[in-house]
Amino acid sequence: MTKLIDGKQVANDLKVQIASSVKKLIALGITPGIAVILVGEDPASQIYVRNKQRAAEQLGIDSELINLPTTTSEAKLLAKIDQLNANPAIDAILVQAPLPAHINEERVQSAIAPEKDVDGFHPQNVGALYNNAKSYYPQANTPRGIMTLLAEYMPDLVGKKALVIGRSILVGRPMMAMLNNADATVTLAHRHTQDLDQLIATADLIVVAVGEPHFLKMSAAKADAVVIDVGINRLEDGSLVGDVLDDMPDSAQLLTPVPGGVGPMTIAMLMQTTIELARQHSTFE
């Protein structure tokens, strides 16, 4: 039967390690700190931010939530980011997406100091990822969480045919780069891709991040494929489903469930990146 990838367990194991690392840093006089900026009152964003705040508190990481009204100007948001860039108590800065339409997300991402860019979206960090730089730099947390899962369930990516469906800066593009850096043979597909069915049928690994319920059926993939479902969609009846429909319960395929697959890993990796940035900023390291 289809084997589910247990993102919750892998994330919990990682959090145990993070909590231990935080205690060691605090013993050295270093308390990792993250600032999260939420602009507006988007319900989904409020849930995401609450989960991030709770995780930070549980792990001993200082967390500052900055709530700004929807009417906040771009200039005021950039000024707040400048303040956080200059604050030595803040190691990591996250601006929750989506932002109101009048605010340019690219300018906001570029305004965060690269050494505090916990999401890995600053152009300098994106460039380091694409160049496969050997020095430390923060990387996008969802793709990084997926790579951590793959290390447990598909450790040998060399030469594997990997298909990434969706090309957002949040998941698709950094995912492609990380898999390429791991020596997989990567195809990045999007709405204009031709012969997508054939690409799906021959891929060893498929990462689906399109935000469309049941976009991909497991029956369309190889019998031994590993499928990572990044999507989380709420149906009219209130239920949550991913971008993938498991219609092959008796196959040998691997699949991340929704919820409980990629989501827990994203938050765990956000906390991991925060303590890494704290180490980078520390004079003790």
For position 156, which CATH number holds? 3.40.50.720
Non-local CB neighbours of 162 within 8 Å, separated by 6+ positions: 179, 184, 185, 186, 187, 203, 204, 205, 206, 207
Are 184 and 104 part of one and the same domain? no
Same domain assignment for residues 172 and 245: yes
Q: What is the pTM of this model?
A: 0.95
216, part of any domain: yes
Residue 230 within a domain: yes
Q: State yes or no: 168 annotated in a binding site.
A: yes
Return d(Cα 56, Cα 34) in angstroms, integer: 8
Count the domains in the chain: 2
pLDDT of residue 31: 96
**What is the per-residue pLDDT for 88?**
96
Same domain, 202 and 234: yes
**Positive or negative torsion for Cα 210, 216, 218, 220:** negative
SS (H, E, C) the chain: CCEECCHHHHHHHHHHHHHHHHHHHHHCCCCCEEEEEEECCCHHHHHHHHHHHHHHHHHCCEEEEEEECCCCCHHHHHHHHHHHHCCCCCCEEEECCCCCCCCCHHHHHHHCCHHHECCCCCHHHHHHHHCCCCCCCCCCHHHHHHHHHHHHHCCCCCCCEEEEECCCCCCHHHHHHHHHHCCCEEEEECCCCCCHHHHHHHCCEEEECCCCCCCEEHHHCCCCCEEEECCCEECCCCCEECCEECCCCCCCCEECCCCCCHHHHHHHHHHHHHHHHHHHHCCCC
Q: In terms of domains, do 46 and 145 share one?
A: no
User: 3-state SS of 141-154?
Assistant: HHHHHHHHHHHHHC
- Residue 100, domain member (yes or no): yes
Q: Let me know whether 152 and 241 are in one domain.
A: yes
- Asked whether residue 107 is assigned to any structural domain, the reply reads yes
Distance between CA atoms of residues 79 and 101, nearest Å: 18
Which domain CATH number covers 38? 3.40.50.10860
166 is in an annotated binding site: yes
Q: Is residue 175 one of the residues assigned to a domain?
A: yes
CA quadruple 169, 174, 175, 180: dihedral, nearest 10: 150
* Residue 93 shares a structural domain with residue 34: yes
Residues 182, 212 within the same domain:
yes
The answer for residues whose C-beta is within 8 angstroms of residue 134's C-beta and 6 or more apart is none
Do residues 168 and 255 both lie within one domain? Answer: yes
- Residue 54, marked binder: no
Both 163 and 250 in a single domain?
A: yes
Q: Which of 89, 119, 149 marks a domain boundary?
A: 119
Q: Tokens for 25? A: 């840093």
Residues 83 and 195 in one domain: no
Q: Which amino acid is at 274?
A: T
**Structural domain includes residue 43:** yes
Residues 79 and 184 in one domain: no
For residue 161, the one-letter residue type is: K
Structural domain boundaries, residue 48: 29-119
**Known catalytic residues?**
52, 96, 119
Q: What's the confidence (pLDDT) of residue 285?
A: 44
Q: Is residue 62 part of a domain?
A: yes
Provide the pLDDT for residue 43. Answer: 87
pLDDT less than 50: residues of the chain? 285
> CA 245 to CA 258: how far, in whole Å?
10
Same domain, 115 and 145: no
Within a domain: 156: yes
Partner residues linked to 4 by β-bridges: 255
